[in-house]
Amino acid sequence: MMPWMMRPLRPLVHAVGTAALLVVAGCGDDPTGPNPADLVIEIRSGNGQIALVASTLPEPLRVVVKERSTGDTVPGVRLEWELVQGTGGVLALRETTSDSTGVATNRLTLGPDPGDYRVRVSLRGIRGTPPEFTATGARTPAITSVPAAVVSAGELILIGGRDFHTDPRVNVVQFSGMRGLVLSASPTELRVTVPICLPSRTVDVIVRIGSLRSDAAQLQVIGGTETLNLKPGDAFVSLDPAVLQCVRLPAIPDSRYLVVSQATATLAGARYPYRLVGLAAARVAASAAPVALARVPALRPQVGEELPGAAHDAWELELRQREGELARIAPVSPRIMRAPAAEPRVGDRTTFNVINKENEFEKVTAEVRLVGRHAVIYQDLNAPSGGFSESDFRAFGAVFDDPIYDTDVAAFGSPSDLDANGRVIILFTPVVNKMTERGSDGFIAGFFFGNDLLNRTGSNRAEIFYTLVPDPDGRFGDARSKERVLRTVPPVLAHELQHMIQFNQRVLLRGAAGSEALWLSEGLAHMAEDMVGEAFQRQGDESRAREFRLANYVRASRFLEATPRTSLVAAAAPGTLAERGAAWLFVKYLIGHFGGNEILRRLTQTTRTGVANVTAETGRAWPPLIGDWSAALYLDDLNFPVEPRFSFPGFELRAAVGQLEAFPLQPRTVLFRDFVEADTLSASAADFLIAQVGTSGAERLHLMLGDATAGPMAADAGAQITIVRLR
């Protein structure tokens, strides 16, 4: 991404406030600084740490200072730090000043005795209660006794020892990785419920306090034997926290199970550590420790083939965010914003406002080069020589008319016609070329900006796309031949036309006070590219079909390489190729199961947003919908009979995404032995594992899905497990 793309968004309709730009020496004492009553202090990181007594907390204590009304960070604010609880603790600094990002940092060294600490951060004159960090000093716990007799899973037992914490919640007691419930605690005794999911065997009991861990003690347990009996092709899905704490799989000879751990949460940006523990009913050697899978080489363009890439995606998402802000400020009703123009003719000249890389509107004069059925093509008079010929313009216009325009309109609805010319303007201008810094990885190929459909500063009050021009000598950036522009721009137009249609259907016609969620907006627009590629496929034009589909396959490949860490509901620009791949595959799944193109039209022509839009139009709750889609990512096109909900009807996922390289989604395989699979799940994301019966002699595999400590995952994670027997 180019540096200018990393700047905060600048609204086009009002000036940037100046308070966040002031650097002040003391804030409360400096009359030129911001008023402390207008500020708020928030904890950024370092809260709730547990560490060994007399040590410095491993993570610094960080706060951020913000303006209360705008949320902008404020540099140069002097803060006071005070240790209000905890004997012997020492703060590194009594005062700190927020840095250029509004962040202030301090460190705490704990005293020599176990105990709890509170650190207050304050600013004179600030409103509200100052934030406080908490920390705990502890000694390494030790177990001195566990019951000598055999105990049953679910039984209450006493564990003797020393240096336990008096708060039951701080003591984490694990039985071969599965967490028991601590009911009460003293420094020398814990009352603990043995995990219900333990198998009949000897287990290792340990006590953890933060990162401090006791030695293991052995305990004999009699566990449950009820198993989940599935036939090949059968599936089991559960959101029930109690069920997630115990699923038992029978060791049927030669059987294999797909296990999908999911976080069905919809909070964009949320991440949930998880731990999937597997214990064999007869103790056998543990599986190898979890290792990161080697990256499968993803789809790559062929020699001489270039995709717009991350730079284009970042710029486009920035525009989508701006459109949402413009719609929130003052939605408008559809109307012609200027008198209908005369029928455009080749040779006519018009002046346009084009937003440039400095986020300013630049005036350009352009000449009509083609008047097509659905498009008027203009070229900037400043375009370099060596560009399009008249036949090139005709070919470009023909592709836009059919299949791009016809396909998008049939699927999503019509664009507006504010200038009453009955067509969409396509403006080739070197202003777009200059947006990409020389030598960048990828480039900005073109865009639509909803500002043009509003009565705002810089608006052209017309339906218009901006695209780069052929620049074989590299006058305005890296050299771009006309052949390359002819290949790369049409798929971008298919994508951007969908955004133009959606802006009309959502904001102009229905008065939505904001744009569609970024992830769903991009998924629909990428689907437009795919559908035009399908149209070319039906025409027998394999080369053009590939041009429109390749970028989606590359994005999908990136997603399938990193499913746990890729959120479907990501909402922040610039986004990633993997997130876009997830959104496209999700929309592809919806098409196959909920009415084909009709679901696309319903998702576009609405004021609902994101998850609420999808659940309303499909009639399904989010967790089962996400669960089925996640399983389909592995099961589709596997040459294995599964329920239809675990497939992409009309699409062979493995053949499509894996056509140039190996299929990227390769779950780790574990035998029916002890294992731990630990990772972090993003919101609406999934991780995959295959459990296979080996020759170990295990009778069952007992599974527990929990948080990082193997306790129940947070309620807002929406934890879910899907298990499908493969054979």
Tens-digit pLDDT profile for residues 591-621 = 999 999 999 999 999 999 999 999 999 999 9
Question: The CATH number of the domain where 215 resides is what?
Answer: 2.60.40.10
Residue finishing a domain among 170, 189, 222: 222
* Contact between 61 and 119 (Cβ < 8 Å): yes
pLDDT score recorded for residue 297: 38
For residue 204, give the 3-state DSSP assignment.
strand
Q: Contacts from 593-597 at CB under 8 Å and sequence distance 24+?
A: 593/618, 593/644, 593/645, 593/649, 594/618, 597/410, 597/411, 597/531
pLDDT block averages, 10 residues each, the chain of length 727:
29 28 38 78 95 96 94 94 96 96 96 96 90 96 97 97 95 96 97 96 96 96 93 95 94 94 94 95 50 37 48 61 61 51 88 93 97 97 94 95 97 95 96 93 90 92 96 94 92 96 95 91 96 96 94 94 95 81 97 94 97 97 97 93 93 88 92 93 97 80 94 93 96
Structural domain containing residue 98? 3-138
304 found inside a domain: no
303 found inside a domain: no
- Say whether both 432 and 492 belong to one domain: yes
CA dihedral 336, 338, 341, 347 (to 10 degrees): -120
Residue finishing a domain among 120, 138, 156: 138
pLDDT score recorded for residue 318: 64
203 found inside a domain: yes
The tally of domains found in the chain comes to: 4
- Say whether both 261 and 286 belong to one domain: yes
Number of C-beta neighbours around residue 635 at 10 A: 25
- Say whether both 464 and 562 belong to one domain: yes
Helix ranges restricted to H, 666-726: none
CA dihedral 156, 160, 162, 166 (to 10 degrees): 30
pLDDT score recorded for residue 339: 54
- Say whether both 518 and 646 belong to one domain: yes
Convert the pLDDT of each residue in 18-43 to its tens digit.
Answer: 222 223 334 444 445 678 889 999 99
243 found inside a domain: yes
300 found inside a domain: no
Residue finishing a domain among 601, 625, 657: 657
298 found inside a domain: no
pLDDT score recorded for residue 256: 94
- Say whether both 246 and 106 belong to one domain: no
- Say whether both 371 and 499 belong to one domain: yes
pLDDT score recorded for residue 341: 61
- In angstroms, the CA 587 to CA 603 distance is 10
- In angstroms, the CA 227 to CA 706 distance is 19
- Closest residue by Cα to residue 536 from 406, 648, 415: 406
CA angle 102, 103, 109 (to 5 degrees): 160
- Say whether both 161 and 266 belong to one domain: no
With pLDDT > 90 as the criterion, what percentage of the chain qualifies? 77
- Closest residue by Cα to residue 242 from 721, 684, 723, 724: 721
pLDDT score recorded for residue 291: 34
- Say whether both 112 and 197 belong to one domain: no
- Say whether both 115 and 200 belong to one domain: no
pLDDT score recorded for residue 45: 95
pLDDT score recorded for residue 591: 97
pLDDT score recorded for residue 18: 27
299 found inside a domain: no
Identify the bridge partners of residue 687 per DSSP, sorted by sequence position.
261
